[in-house]
Structure 1
Amino acid sequence: MKFFYASAVFVLTLGSSQAADIDNGDDLHFTNCTGCHDDSVYTRENRRVSSLPRLGAQVRFCKDSLGLTWFEDEVEDVIEYLNQTYYHF
């Protein structure tokens, strides 16, 4: 019986996860991030971000610092946009 419930929960969670929306991440980044800095912060030699978890932490820090009211999926969109465009972790 426990196996049945665990299997059901697993299957239900598979359907509810969604891939990040790169285009939305690009739009959010352009609208909210480029007012403070340009893209050179992502490509400079001594950049702060050195892993995907650190990228997530930095995006959340910037979101909170600017008082943005993004939902978690929007945060994930920006993280994925930055990762695919600049970081490639």
Structure 2
Amino acid sequence: MNQLLLTTMLIASSATFANEEGKELHKESCIACHIIEHDDAFYTRDNSRLHNHFDLRLQVSNCVSALNINWFPDEKKSVVNHLNNEYYKFKK
């Protein structure tokens, strides 16, 4: 029972850490390039080009490549997860 509780707590804390990491990376590298404010309306607007989780991953990868951001794959994944958890809510 204690091992199950410990495992559950570790998984939850690592997911929280990854989301916080994604949020910080997004703040440092993404927001600076966009002129308009990034809020719920920016990400969930009607004319969004993103319609699913694949589109979101592709967009983050395109931005990382175009801006020559040196993120590791797990950092890109953290940003995708942050954006998805915070705004898009796409199924994976």
* Superposition TM-score tier, normalisation by shorter sequence: 0.7 to 0.9
Aligned match of 2:10: none
Higher mean alpha-carbon deviation, 42-51 vs 25-34, is at: 42-51
Superposition TM-score, scaled by structure 1 size? 0.74
Q: What is the CA deviation profile of residues 43-85 of structure 1, one whole-angstrom value per residue up to 9, with x for unaligned ones?
A: 2110111000110000000001110010000000000000000
Unaligned runs of 5+ in 2: 1-13
The percent identity for this pair of structures is: 38
1:81 partner letter: H
Unaligned runs of 5+ in 1: 1-17
Alpha-carbon RMSD across the aligned residues, in angstroms, is: 1.6
Aligned match of 1:75: 76
Superposition TM-score, scaled by structure 2 size? 0.72
2:19 partner letter: I
